[in-house]
A and B are shown apart, each in its own frame.
Chain A
Amino acid sequence: MVFYVIRRILQAIPVLIGTTFLIYFLVFAMPGNPVQALFGDKTPNPALLAELEKQYHLNEPFIVQYLYYLRDVVTGNFGVSFSGQSVNDVLARTFPVTARLALMAVVIEMVVGVTIGLVAGLRKGKLFDLSSLVISLLFLSVPIFVICFIGQFFLGFKLGWFRTTVGADASIPNLILPAIVLASSLVAINIRLTRGSVIETLNNDFVRTAYSKGLSRRRVIPVHVLRNSLIPVTTQLGADFGILLVGATVTEGIFNVPGVGNTLYQAIIRGERPTVVSFVTVMVLLYLVVNIIIDLIYAVLDPRIRYVK
């Protein structure tokens, strides 16, 4: 187990370096001089422009700029944004907000998705099953920003149940609406996944054996059926994490949540290399960690899975 974890962590290192290189190159390849844009429609004086370029190493060739960046990262310094803020501070400020939002979305996704999926699977072909399929189809096919606006308008503005935007107070009650919206499409995926998996498990010999041993339905469904059905759902959870981070960019913009997505979007628009690369790097890091954890959870769900060197 320990060896397995260590090996996975070592594997993550080249992935990380590759990611920073790729992202740094992509931002570098973005056409136009970001310093020029700082002046709006006004034309800056060339000497001032040159000074600013020097400060951000923009006058150096790509590989030199990248090495400057790597040197800073290795020393634990993610650089400075155009606004003069340390990217470390920005990360420390925004990641907890997005992590909270993502966690809330995961909880909603798992609880709602698995519950509805389980019931739908057990009542295959009945009214509940069919209506859950229709609803999940709806959520899967409508883009997330449309769901955002609809939720914001009806639940926030018309009914007044939630605040229309989050703003300064990103506490759990205020994040409920964005989290529900963020979770909506994933709930739909989970309903379908759980339902299919439950139906498949129900047809297995061990379920029939369990019933014939005289076990009650209350014992068979949670322990024998549900647990075995959760493996594909858990795999999906890892992939969901990526969807959540991407979805957060849209959702955070619409609900004005001061999180990662919002800041990253602004930084991309302004062409701030240190901010963009650092944010994406940390996102990749999180994604890797989450997926290692998920691989470990498999063993909890299915004792037959073993980790070898």
Chain B
Amino acid sequence: MRISRMGAIVGGIALATTVALAGCSTGGGSDSGASGYITANGSEPQNPLIPTNTNEVGGGKILDAIFAGLVYYEADGTPVNDLAESITSDDQQTYTIKIKSGEKFSNGEEVTSDSFINAWKDGALLSNERLNSYFFEDIEGFSYDEDSDLTGLKKVDDQTFTVTLKSKLADFPLRLGYSAFYPLPTEAFDSDGKVTKAFGENPIGNGPYKLDGGKKAWQHDVQIDLATNKTYTGGRKADNTGLTIKFYATLDAAYQDLLGGNLDVLDALPESAFSTFKSDLGDRAINTPGAVFQSFTIPSDLTNYTDQSAFAHFVGDEGKLRRQAISYAIDRDTITDKIFDGTRTPAEDFTSPTIAGFKKDIPGSEVLKYDPDKAAELWAQADAISPWSGSFSIAYNTDGGHKAWVDAVCNNLNNNLKGMDCSGKAYPTFAQARTLISKNDAGKRDITTAFRSGWQADYPGLFNFLGPLYATNASSNDGDYSNPEFDKLIQEGSASADTDAANAKFQQAEEILFQDLPAIPLWYQNTVGGYGENVENVKVDWHSVPIYYQITKK
């Protein structure tokens, strides 16, 4: 059968044209936001923009711009009342919260105590599967096992409500600046009182910015345009007309845009730019310690580990000596300088220097100084208890750029500790490493090596770096560390009304950690980035996010 040649040509052209035209009609969109907007880097939010369901940086920085909570944090982490008129408590267990009157969402609805209570109750309910539900775990009525009402929340009047906690928590007001505690307008809820995904696609907030033009503002995988919200009256009032957050899949592209003048503010760098960004950007480069603590964990209590023999040398007095020897054997200064080009800061404690209450030279912190002789000595003492055998590995995920430092740490250990035989254990994805570390269905942890660990602060308080990680049975205590003395100090600190007194307790608790070393502190991840020639007043806050509302165009 012979086909008409002309027919095939015409058909082919028609097909090609259709595809091309289809492309044109759906493409387009505005270019880099409205003029005068500050452009900043970001990433496509991994979830609809519901405050209680956003736990990653990409969505978090948008939520912080479009919502205002009871308190906000200044650049150094100091909490300042935003919507709250007052947060008071006599016993650190029942808090009375008064809201400023006349505060409005950008759609004109007034912010009342119901705006908070309904949002929090939705966030805490098990069947709603909110990723941030653990923020409500201290409130009375919270349950992980079944749907249960937050009975600890009681409305007094439109401007007042009370929160009753399960136990005393002095730093509860400090936590209230985290996005999980933002209020929501009635429009967010469906008839069953559940926050809808549709709202998450087009959120209406009460913060310094609002979505510019509603639904159109968020171009998925591309960018989100935020205009200044005129109804916001708090302390974070924007000095610019708006903000465009551009989503980048790779930081290389974002860095090129910064250099090319297509991006005003960049709060992260591709590894390829670590060695050059200071000369590329001059005084427009940003490099300061951030609230990200990095370490590796050697399990403490082996009961929950499938293969206990792997850690047999790390229990009891022998384990204590070996952990300290390992810590002394790591040359943090050289590694942060050579491998990270100074974009990490050697650790001095278990928290972060950007957090109020951070203290240098806590007794015991000398284990973080590089001292090969001391390391060898302690290692020999441990060998006297039970000679070292076998090998040592540190697990890491290869999709996160960890290989270089793990290899360097292992070199340190192999050079300074007799017979160590340390190597990295690579897992291709973060998910795989995480799955092995977390308890399986039988309640056991399958990992057989030490593993990379870390913590990024949710709110600027020492407790946040200590309680969830090292308290007995705490949610992220993956090494199953348990020390009654530590638990007691943490509890006393939590119950203490006076911040300084509380921080003193937490610092004492850190002294215990320096003895036991449930995790070996390595370094703090710096906030690295830079800004363009057309903007000024660029500062990054305590948790590494630029303070967008202060940035102005030249």
User: Interface residues, chain A, CB within 8 Å of chain B?
Assistant: 1, 3-4, 30-34, 36-48, 51-52, 55, 82-85, 89-90, 92-94, 96-97, 99-100, 103, 149, 152-153, 156-157, 160, 163-165, 167-171, 252-256, 258, 262-263, 265-266, 269-271, 293, 296-297, 299-300, 303, 306-308
Contact B435 A94 (CB under 8 A): no
Tell me the complex Cα distance, A308–B197, Å: 53
Tell me the complex Cα distance, A308–B47, Å: 52
Can you list 11 residue pairs at the A/B interface with Cβ under 8 Å?
A: A32-B431, A39-B131, A39-B434, A40-B55, A55-B129, A83-B47, A93-B26, A100-B24, A163-B260, A168-B222, A256-B246
Q: Quick one: closest A residue to B50, CB to CB?
A: A84
Contact B29 A38 (CB under 8 A): no
How many A-B residue contacts, CB cutoff 8 Å? 218
Which residues, 447 to 480 on B, are CB-close (under 8 Å) to A?
453-456, 468, 475-478
Tell me the complex Cα distance, A85–B294, Å: 33
Does residue B554 face the partner (Cβ distance < 8 Å to A)? no
Which residues, 428 to 451 on B, are CB-close (under 8 Å) to A?
428-439
- Chain B nearest Cβ from A73, distance in angstroms: 22
Extra contacts, 8 of them, besides A41-B476, A99-B20, A265-B249 (Cβ < 8 A), are A31-B428, A48-B129, A96-B22, A153-B256, A164-B256, A169-B29, A299-B3, A303-B5
Please name all residues of chain B whose beta carbon is closer than 8 Å to the beta carbon of A303 when the two chains form the complex: 2, 5
Contact A299 B262 (CB under 8 A): no
Contact A163 B55 (CB under 8 A): no
Contact A37 B197 (CB under 8 A): no
Q: Quick one: closest A residue to B432, CB to CB?
A: A32
Contact of A51 among B126, B249, B435 (CB under 8 A): B126
Q: Given A40-B55, A55-B129: A168 and B223 within 8 A (CB)?
A: yes
Q: Given A83-B45, A164-B260: A103 and B129 within 8 A (CB)?
A: no
Which residues, 1 to 58 on B, are CB-close (under 8 Å) to A?
1-3, 5, 8-9, 12, 15-16, 19-20, 22-32, 44-48, 55-56
Does residue B311 face the partner (Cβ distance < 8 Å to A)? no
Contact B200 A85 (CB under 8 A): no
Please name all residues of chain A whose beta carbon is closer than 8 Å to the beta carbon of B260 when the two chains form the complex: 156-157, 160, 163-165
Which residues, 408 to 439 on B, are CB-close (under 8 Å) to A?
427-439
Tell me the complex Cα distance, A99–B21, Å: 10
Please name all residues of chain B whose beta carbon is closer than 8 Å to the beta carbon of A34 when the two chains form the complex: 431
Please name all residues of chain B whose beta carbon is closer than 8 Å to the beta carbon of A47 when the two chains form the complex: 126, 144-145
Contact A93 B221 (CB under 8 A): yes
Contact of B30 among A31, A168, A299 (CB under 8 A): A168
Q: Given A55-B129, A156-B256: A37 and B431 within 8 A (CB)?
A: yes
Q: Quick one: closest A residue to B200, CB to CB?
A: A84
- Chain A nearest Cβ from B514, distance in angstroms: 21
Contact of B46 among A32, A42, A83 (CB under 8 A): A83
Does residue B103 face the partner (Cβ distance < 8 Å to A)? no
Indicate the size class of the contact surface on chain B.
35 or more
Q: Quick one: closest B residue to A50, CB to CB?
A: B441
Q: Given A37-B434, A169-B29: A93 and B220 within 8 A (CB)?
A: yes
Contact mask for chain B residues 196-231; partner A; CB cutoff 8 A; 1 contact, 0 none: 010010000000000000000001111100000000
Please name all residues of chain A whose beta carbon is closer than 8 Å to the beta carbon of B8 when the two chains form the complex: 296-297, 299-300
Q: Given A47-B126, A293-B15: A39 and B197 within 8 A (CB)?
A: no
Q: Mostly helix, strand, loop or mixed at chain B's interface?
A: mixed
Q: Quick one: closest B residue to A31, CB to CB?
A: B432
Please name all residues of chain A whose beta carbon is closer than 8 Å to the beta carbon of B220 when the two chains form the complex: 85, 89-90, 93
Tell me the complex Cα distance, A269–B222, Å: 18
Contact A299 B257 (CB under 8 A): no
Which residues, 277 to 296 on B, are CB-close (under 8 Å) to A?
none
Contact of A170 among B20, B25, B27, B47 (CB under 8 A): B27
- Chain A nearest Cβ from B354, distance in angstroms: 18
Contact A96 B26 (CB under 8 A): yes
Q: Given A51-B127, A263-B221: A165 and B145 within 8 A (CB)?
A: no
Contact A165 B256 (CB under 8 A): yes
Tell me the complex Cα distance, A266–B58, Å: 13
Contact B219 A31 (CB under 8 A): no
- Chain B nearest Cβ from A104, distance in angstroms: 9
Contact A100 B44 (CB under 8 A): no
Does residue B93 face the partner (Cβ distance < 8 Å to A)? no
Contact of A82 among B2, B27, B46, B197 (CB under 8 A): B46
Does residue B253 face the partner (Cβ distance < 8 Å to A)? yes
Contact B27 A171 (CB under 8 A): yes
Q: Quick one: closest A residue to B21, CB to CB?
A: A96
Tell me the complex Cα distance, A36–B478, Å: 14
Contact of B55 among A32, A33, A39, A46 (CB under 8 A): A39
Contact mask for chain B residues 398-412; partner A; CB cutoff 8 A; 1 contact, 0 none: 010000000000000
Please name all residues of chain B whose beta carbon is closer than 8 Å to the beta carbon of A85 when the two chains form the complex: 220
Please name all residues of chain A whose beta carbon is closer than 8 Å to the beta carbon of B27 when the two chains form the complex: 96-97, 100, 170-171
